[in-house]
Chain A
Amino acid sequence: MIKTHCMVAGLLATSILGFPAQAAEQAGMIKVSKGTVSIEREGQRMAAGVGTPVMVADRLRTGADGSVGLTLRDNTLLSAGPNSLLVVDKFVYDNATQDGRMALSIRKGTLSVASGKIAKRTPESVDFHTPTSILGVRGTEFVIEVEGDGDE
């Protein structure tokens, strides 16, 4: 029973997260960077210091000594503690109309979220994915923790 649940969850996660990356659009910018923080983009890994742009499809990783904070273009605040992996699956935002859509995955570690203008205007357009669930946001602040060795 548990086995079946887990496998279904795994398949579901793969199908949700496996969509091809969109053309790289800037989603936000790194504002806080402590210890080891890196971005994986198109197979390359780079250090992610303060001022580094964060693009759609980026994988943001913190080391055992690392933590990172970023602000998305719609004023969403995200910050992750040590040993975390965060993926920007989707981010589209029109500054003038405040219409947009976003999907982020926390694969492991800890994440704090203060939702922004997209969640305020169209809450149904904002999703946070964990390995086994999807979180919908109704204009709010929350924290997520994912324990375990999951990486993909």
Chain B
Amino acid sequence: MAMNKSPLSLALLALLLGACASERVVLLPAADGSTGAVVVRDQQGELRLDQPYAALKRSLAANRPYQSSPAEVTERFAQALAAQPPRPSAYVLYFEAGGNVLTQESQAALASIRKEIAERPASEVMVIGHTDRVGNAELNDSLSLTRAEGIRDLLIESGVAVDKLEAVGRGERDPLVPTADDVDEPKNRRVEINVR
């Protein structure tokens, strides 16, 4: 085929090479220090990468596993990696019993959360309210939403620029510390703030 240089076969060759683009996959250690795995599947079967910098190069139907390195990843992927968005983060704020008043520590924490939200590009915030099991479930649904909306409003009032800000109440169904009914558990009177 390579000897035949007619325009048609050159075009065909280009097409085939296009469909057979060379590909590379490198498994990275995760930000938290763990390493997961990637399974690469094609018609011939599958290949598992599960060590840091385990890599696979595919070209013209051949798989070549190899050990990549931080230097190679930087060389080939620096721009892609530099564009990675900030990691999402999650915070928990706690309330005094029964109502919508933050504990003192949590009021202080809210200030630094506001700062963190403001520093993110195009931040999206989800506020999830929870209660302990004192009182009935319906009341707690409404209290958890009141708590979430209260925090949402505090964030809005403080003038933080947020692209999307949602508040939901989960009542007593997702306790941090599981308890029997009607137990006063401060750790369950909380809102989670998820920021991404």
Task: Indicate the size class of the contact surface on chain B.
Answer: 35 or more
Chain A residue numbers with a CB within 8 Å of B26 are 142-143
One of A17-25, A27-35, A39-47 at the interface: A27-35
Chain A residue nearest to B123 in the complex (CB): A31
- Classify the interface of chain B: helix, strand, loop or mixed: mixed
- Count A-B pairs with CB separation below 8 Å: 189
Chain A residue numbers with a CB within 8 Å of B77 are 81, 110, 112, 143, 145
A6 touches B38 (CB 8 A): no
Chain B residue nearest to A148 in the complex (CB): B21
Q: Is B22's beta carbon under 8 Å from chain A? A: yes
Chain A residue numbers with a CB within 8 Å of B18 are 148-150
Q: Is A80's beta carbon under 8 Å from chain B? A: yes
Task: Output the least CB separation between A58 and chain B (Å).
Answer: 16
14 interchain pairs (CB within 8 A)?
A9-B42, A29-B122, A31-B85, A31-B86, A75-B196, A115-B36, A133-B42, A138-B38, A140-B30, A141-B27, A143-B76, A147-B22, A147-B24, A148-B21
User: Residues of A at under 8 Å CB distance from B?
Assistant: 1-3, 5-10, 12-13, 29-32, 34, 50-51, 67-71, 75, 77, 79-82, 84, 95-96, 108-112, 114-115, 130-150
Task: Output the least CB separation between A139 and chain B (Å).
Answer: 4
